[in-house]
Structure 1
Amino acid sequence: QSLPYAFGIVEDQAKYLAHGEPGWADHWVPPPTDLHRAHLLRMIGGDAIRGAVERYFGIKLAFQNCHKTAIFRPEALESPAYQDFISIRSQILNQTPELIDC
């Protein structure tokens, strides 16, 4: 686990889904430090790491600016919730006007 903070976020979200929750789970809490932020961005930003995490948990990761992450069950990718989360509108509404760390 070279990215323990990021892996822990996804692991917690996956546990939430495993308890029969709806087809997705999200995480809104900003990383506590720049190191934690780097963990999250490295995991989400690279196809190899993100893909490995998705396969490990059997989920699809989604990301918005301001470090908002979500995981979706594969069967939920056509759902309104997933389509809304990945929309440009949601991306814009999830940022500050200053376009700085949220």
Structure 2
Amino acid sequence: MIPRLLLQIWIISAILLQNLRQKNFYRRKTVENPIFYPPQEILDHSEVFVNLPEETSLLLDSLWAEVKMGGPGDTATLVAVLAAFLLLYIGIVVYKKMKVKRELK
């Protein structure tokens, strides 16, 4: 775990260093904007988001499914409801095409 964390810190540091080197390619207004290039004191107190554990990701997925469905349930219910609406839509389209063909005869 520690070597992985050190690797992530090294990658982020390399990206930040590259951004600092490329400051001369941007307009002065952009380089002086603290949103794009925050001061070192803010960077010292910053945190970096790392990937969440698998258990947390699964919980997040299930909670998003609940939000999308408007309550507790599983993904199969959401897929079934969407499939029912799709079949209804296809049925309406086929019915209208058959109706137009009958009117043309």
- The reply to whether TM is greater than 0.5 is no
**Which has a greater percent of helix?**
2
TM interval, shorter chain, is under 0.3
Larger radius of gyration: 2
Q: TM-score, normalised by structure 1?
A: 0.24
